[in-house]
Amino acid sequence: MHNEHTDIATTTTQRERKALFAGSFNPFTIGHQSLVDRGLELFDKIVVAVGISATKPVTQAEIAERLEPIRQLYAGDDRVEVVSYAGLTVDAAQSHGCQFLLRGIRNAIDLEYERQLADINRRISGLETVMLLTLPELSAVSSSTVRELQRYGRDVDEFLPKSKM
């Protein structure tokens, strides 16, 4: 028996589900890594986008310093692309062919902030935001905390990703 619906399904390729995960990633922590790794279970590809603020100028060397460890971490995984961008996150997402924004939520304060951003981003771009709750054991890990510990000479290795290679 001929099934017309099956023929259509086999000849049409499904659109790739691609998300942009944006942040300053200064530095990229094990909390960020967890979100990317868990996001890869939901999306075909994730673009990790290091945002460059117009109000906080950084050098090309500083940008490379943020990008390189993330690229090394995901080297060989063609599902992860690492880029930098300036401007609106939704514009970066659209320029990389992303249909979704991926965000992490550590606490209630993050939730309210991210909900407001998601509402505005959906309104101006049509992009949906997918929010993942941070794993409980990682909820205290933040880039700013890691930078503060580094500033005072503390070892922060436990908060930074280990190379997968």
Q: From first to last of its 165 residues, what are the pLDDT tens digits of the chain? A: 455 554 444 444 578 999 999 999 999 999 999 999 999 999 999 999 999 988 888 888 999 999 999 999 999 999 999 999 999 999 999 999 999 999 999 999 999 999 999 999 999 999 999 999 999 999 999 999 999 999 999 999 999 999 765
143 is catalytic: yes
Annotation says 96 is catalytic: no
Q: Which of 2, 56, 144, 151 is catalytic?
A: 56
18, 32, 45, 66: which is the annotated catalytic residue? 32
CA distance 30 to 160: 5
Contact criterion met (CB below 8 Å) for 104 and 31: yes
| d(C-alpha 156, C-alpha 154), whole Å | 6
For 16-46, b where at least 16 C-beta lie within 10 A, e where not — what string?
Answer: eebbbbbbebbbbbbbbbbbbbebbeebebb
Distance, in Å, from the CA atom of 35 to the CA atom of 133, rounded to the nearest integer, reads 9
Per-residue confidence (pLDDT) for residue 157, from 0 to 100: 96
In this predicted structure, what is the pLDDT of residue 65?
94
**Strand partners of residue 100:** 19, 128
Tokens of 142: 């933040």
What is the pLDDT, as a whole number, of residue 15?
A: 85
Give all strands of the β-sheet with 18-23 in edge-to-edge order: 80-86, 45-52, 18-23, 100-105, 128-133
The per-residue pLDDT for 98 is 98
pLDDT confidence of residue 13: 56
Q: pTM of the entire structure?
A: 0.88
